[in-house]
Each structure stands twice: as C-alpha cells, then as structure tokens.
Amino acid sequence: MPSPTGCSRILQIHPTRRCNLKCLHCYSLSGPREREEVAASVLLAALTDAGQAGYGVASFSGGEPLLYKQLPALLHHAHDCGMITTVTTNGMLLDERKLETLQGAADLIAISLDGKPKSHNIMRASKQAFAGMLARLEGLRASEIPFGFIFTLTQYNLDELDWVASFALEQGARLLQIHPLEEVGRARAKLLFRKSSDFSTRRRERFLKEKYSPQRGIRSTCSRGFWKSKSRCWPTETKRW
C-alpha cells in the first residue's frame, strides 16, 4: 500500500548479534560476547529474492554490522539486485580501512546517537562511546559517503533532541531519524519507560514539524522503516532477516 512518501519496500538485515557495545536499549540483546550470526549464503539468497520481489532498499543493522566480515560482499550484491544500501552503526569502528570497504558499497551510513555525550555514554554503557564515535566523523566526511544520525527517543532524552539536531547539522549530516524505544530485548530489562501511548507516533510527528523546518538544512522523521534525505525518500514497508 502506498505511504504518504511512496511505496518502496525495505529489507532489514541483521547479520550478527556481535557488537563492541552493550547498549541499554538494544532490542536484539547484542554484545561483545555474542557470536550468533546468519550465514552469508542465506543473506545473499534473501537479497536476490527481495530484489526480485520489488524491495528497493537493503538496510543492514545488528549487532554491529561492521563486525560481519561478509558485509561488503552483501552490500555489493544488494546493488547488483538494484537496491539502495544503508548501514546502521555505532560509528566507533569506522576507521580508514572500514571506510574504504564501504565506499561504492554503502549509499548511506546511519550512526546511532542517544543525546549529549554523557547521555550517549550512559545508554551505550561505555565511557568512550561518544568520543570514539566523534573521532571517526572527520574520516567519514572525507570519504564522501552520505551519512546521518539515528536518535532513539525516550522519556529520558526528549529534552536533548534540540541539541542532537544541532549536532547533526554541525557535523554535516544529511538526515536525522527519530526512533521510538522498542520495548523488547535489553530495553525491557534495563530501562524503565512509559508506554508508547504516552508519546505516540502522531504526537512525535507533530512535535518534529513544530520544532524543526526544512529550512534548517536537515530532514527529520520518526518512522522506523523510513529514510529521508534532501535527494531521496525511502519509505516504509519493512521485512527483517
């Protein structure tokens, strides 16, 4: 069914639960000790099937997808299947070598951001999380791979959304995506939060429209399966592997 922005479909791929962080809000219970991953052959076949079924975007997340050795091969295969590719990462592992493998393979890199440095580090359960991510942004800009930020909205960081938007603009981001907190995985055990009805998707959309305008130079959305930038609009139907 067409959405207000089109009818493209997104294949969400989570190739591994291994991650260099153990975030409090992680929906997949990923972490440094996890080794569960999906065989590359399975994912290559899934991408082929999705391309033939009309899916237009392959979005890779995790876990930390940069720890999945076959990620570049999957990204190139997705291109071969006619799909746009996105990679969601905590950003700490985006060194020069990783960026070289992503150039020409990833159409967009989305970096998770949870607020100001202190808030980000608390949510990421690491005192180095923000500084480690920030240190990689200069190289990311130099690579000329389009990038943006993903902000998971909770009752604890709502007041930091304005700071996040300003930070995204300062760093040259092309998008800011607002996610609701998913009430599964580690978030269910580690975070106390209000029910989603207390801050509904409609209220979040209204808040964003009132708070930010396209004139600020960055587009913001709060739909989980929806990427929006100045040049492309990639909406809403999603399928996960």
Query: What string of DSSP letters covers 213-237?
Result: -GGGS-EEE--TT-EE-SS-EE--E
Q: How many Å apart are CA 12 and CA 225, to the nearest integer? A: 8
Contact 72, 102 (CB under 8 A): yes
Percent share of the chain, pLDDT over 90: 66
Predicted structure pTM score: 0.80
Q: Which secondary structure element, helix H or strand E, spans residue 96, and what is its range?
A: helix 96-102
Confidence of residue 188 (pLDDT cuts 50, 70, 90): confident
pLDDT of residue 223: 44
In a domain, 81, yes or no: yes
* Span 196-202, average pLDDT: 49
Q: What is the residue-wise DSSP string for 44-67?
A: HHHHHHHHHTT--EEEE-SS-GGG
Q: Evaluate whether residue 29 is within a structural domain.
A: yes
Count of the separate structural domains present in the chain = 1
**Domain enclosing residue 38, as ranges:** 9-240
Considering the domain boundaries, does residue 4 fall inside one? no
**Range in 65-69, 144-148, 160-164, 193-197 with the lowest mean pLDDT:** 193-197
Q: Is 122 helix (H, G, I), strand (E, B) or coil?
A: helix
Q: Is the pLDDT at 229 greater than 60, yes or no?
A: no
Q: What is the mean pLDDT of residues 46-53?
A: 97
Q: Is 121 a member of any domain?
A: yes
CATH number at residue 103: 3.20.20.70
Q: Is residue 162 part of a domain?
A: yes
CB 124 within 8 A of CB 139: no
Q: What is the pLDDT of residues 125-183, one digit of tens each?
A: 999 999 999 999 999 999 999 999 999 988 789 999 999 999 999 999 999 999 888 88
